[in-house]
Chains A and B, each alone.
Chain A
Amino acid sequence: MKDMLTQSAFFGVVISLLCFEVGLFLKKKTGLAIANPLLVAVLMIVAFLLLFDIDYEVYASGAKYIDFFLTPATVSLAVPLYRKLSLLKKYPKAIFGGIAAGVLTAMVSIFLMSLAFGLTHEQYVTLLPKSITTAIGMGVSEKMGGIVTITIVAIAISGIGGNIIAEFVCKVFRITEPIARGLAIGTASHAMGTSRAMELGEVEGAMSSLSIVVAGIITVVSVSVFAMFI
């Protein structure tokens, strides 16, 4: 049976899609940010593989056909950014200033805390791209010699955490301008936070989704500098 699974190109694909569907269902039923479909799917698959003693390689031999689409999907992120370009032209200072300040804050705070925790270079560069969208963050982590899967975990914590605390943080720190709120949420917690920003309002949602790619690109450049510090 296991031999059959090893040869099957569909086992990994089917279990991935099915578990993601379950995650989507749970998300819809509960409405909780923590019921993130990616998180649910991964936990289910890992449990399944461990339970039936199936190697990751067996799963990956089929599932690799899914992540084959990652590069084209990341390339496609240019399309939603292009559609929002008029906003960027309208508020260039607030958008670039805010996002650049945010990315710099991410870099400096991660650097200082990594130093305090005594992290190795590998662990440090694993965390550096943690605020940006998974597609871009994975590439950054890989190129810098980080542990890509752990980067994805850090990105998920930032996204889900940001989604949950966004409204509270904006209230406490008196961030009331819709543009500023959207930029704050998108820069800190990428696409997973953007779903929350869209619930807050149309301007918030648009600004948040614009920040995803802009913050991603600024981070690519900044990480290559900050990676040298530890």
Chain B
Amino acid sequence: MKFMRQLAIIMSISFIAEVMEYLIPLPVAASIYGLILMLIGLITKIIPLHKVEDAADFLVEIMPILFVPPTVGIMASVEALKQMLVPLCVISVVSTVLVMVVTGRVSQRMIRKGNGDARDGVSMDGAVTQKGAIQ
């Protein structure tokens, strides 16, 4: 029953999120409202972590399977896919590299320039990799 109750809480938040999607005139999907509601609930401890975590971990774990049916829907969009296949591949690959480089460089600079306490807890790892990089 514990699992069912956890699922019931998650489903209830999903339902409230759907109502919000209907009422709020913003281009935001219900699932995002739900995610934020759940996060606020956890932070404020209105929803204690142990009341949802087993069901939530299960759902997050099986998530890749949930993408299978929508992706098979590509069968219905083959024409649209063909039309943009080259830009799709180029844009996806190039922007992935750019995002990785910029995110990494910016956060690295902030860690190194920022307050020294930012390195606590990772000093070992950091020292090892840094040494490797210098050599």
Residue ranges of A at the interface with B (Cβ–Cβ < 8 Å): 12, 16-17, 19-20, 37-38, 41-42, 45-46, 49-50, 56, 59-60, 63-64, 66-67, 69-83, 85, 90-91, 93-95, 97-99, 101-103, 105-106, 109-110, 113-114, 117, 119, 123, 126-127, 130-131, 134-136, 138-140, 142-144, 147-150, 152-154, 156-158, 161-162, 165-166, 169-170, 173-181, 183-185, 187-189, 191, 201, 203, 211, 213, 216-217, 220, 224, 227
Contacts and interface: CB of A to CB of B under 8 A. Distances in A.
Interface of B: 7, 10-11, 13-14, 17-18, 26-32, 34-39, 41-43, 49, 52-53, 55-57, 59-60, 62-77, 80-81, 83-84, 86-108, 110-112, 114, 118, 120-122, 125-126, 129-130, 132-133
B125 A114 contact: no
Given A75-B10, A188-B103, A97 B38 contact: no
Given A71-B30, A97-B110, A170-B104, A82 B42 contact: yes
Given A19-B68, A94-B111, A161 B96 contact: yes
Contacts of B95: 105-106, 109-110, 113, 130-131, 158
Contact of B70 (A138, A183, A191): A138
A109 B76 contact: no
A177 B111 contact: yes
